[in-house]
């Protein structure tokens, strides 16, 4: 971790703790430099990064202030950092715990439009000409299933899991593990899951979800 990154993290911690709130003026570059024992150049780099993230605003002659949109920007940044530091093994643990658990909600709340979206994702995945395109529609399908629960909290959690799937480690493992035969199996498992959901058969849908996830985990992680 560079010195400027360390300072950035320190300021982020202060923002998260509510030490500085939207509209508050931050210490000057000189005060930050002396207070944290770093150079003015280091301070400028850290502030530039925070400004780019929408957390602070700088006005010549007035100083540096916490941006009004800082709370929402901070939430987004925390989600991104969480996604970047979640390993494929941790993601699979979460998926095995959460995806079967939301099936009852999906079976109860899904609409005709939700099922049409799921089927469209399956079709697009089957037509995908590359692994990257297939993986995109794979993720879209699981997000469509989560959204069909019609629960805001569930949707937000699954959007975070989708961000983790977009990280390099997951992509590299998927690229190494997915053979044409395995991709075909995944496509068939997706169809079976969506069919069970459309029949509003919770027991069959839970079994399909768990079997699919265990299959993915075995191919990715070897257990």
Angle, helices 40-52/3-16, rounded to nearest 10 degrees: 50
Co-location of 137 and 93 in the same domain: yes
Q: Which of 15-24, 46-55, 57-66, 203-212 has the highest mean pLDDT?
A: 203-212
Residue 106 within any structural domain of the chain:
yes
Q: How is residue 152 written in tokens?
A: 């805001």
Asked if 161 and 58 sit in the same domain, the reply is no
pTM over cut 0.75: no
Tens digits of per-residue pLDDT, 87-96? Answer: 788 888 989 9
Assigned domain for 62 exists: yes
Instruction: Output b/e per residue, 190-202; b: 16+ Cβ within 10 A.
Output: bbbbbbbbbeeeb
CATH of the domain at 23: 1.10.10.10
Give bridge partners of residue 88 from the DSSP assignment: none
Range of the domain at 48: 3-68
Quote the CA–CA distance of 95 and 159 in Å, as a whole number: 12
Same domain, 145 and 115: yes
Strands (E), the chain: 56-59, 63-66
Q: Based on the fold, state whether residues 212 and 133 are members of the same structural domain.
A: yes
Give the pLDDT confidence of 97-149 residue by residue, as tens digits: 999 999 999 999 999 999 999 999 999 999 999 988 998 899 899 999 999 99
Total domains in the fold of the chain: 2
**Domain harbouring 152, CATH code:** 1.20.120.530
Report the candidate in 11, 15, 84, 79 with the shortest Cα–Cα distance to residue 48. 11
Domain annotation covers residue 73: no
Region 28-52: mean pLDDT is 88
């Amino acid at each position: 971790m560079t010195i400027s990154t360390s300072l950035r993290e320190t300021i982020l911690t202060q923002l998260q703790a509510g030490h500085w709130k939207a509209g508050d003026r931050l210490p000057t570059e000189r005060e930050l430099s002396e207070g944290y024992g770093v150079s003015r150049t280091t301070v400028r780099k850290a502030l530039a990064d925070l400004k780019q993230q929408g957390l602070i605003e700088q006005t010549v002659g007035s100083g540096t202030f916490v941006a009004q949109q800082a709370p929402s920007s901070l939430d987004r940044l925390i989600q991104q950092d969480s996604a970047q530091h979640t390993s494929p093994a941790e993601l699979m643990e979460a998926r095995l715990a959460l995806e079967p658990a939301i099936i009852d909600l999906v079976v109860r709340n899904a609409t005709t439009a939700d099922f049409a979206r799921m089927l469209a994702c399956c079709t697009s995945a089957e037509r995908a000409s590359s692994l990257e395109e297939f993986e995109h529609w794979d993720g879209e399908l699981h997000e469509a299933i989560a959204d069909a629960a019609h629960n805001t909290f569930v949707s937000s959690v699954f959007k975070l899991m989708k961000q983790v799937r977009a990280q390099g480690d997951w992509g590299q493992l998927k690229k190494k593990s997915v053979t044409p035969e395995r991709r075909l199996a995944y496509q068939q498992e997706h169809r079976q899951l969506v069919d069970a959901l459309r029949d509003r058969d919770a027991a069959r849908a839970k079994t399909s979800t768990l079997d699919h996830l265990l299959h993915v985990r075995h191919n990715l992680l070897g257990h």
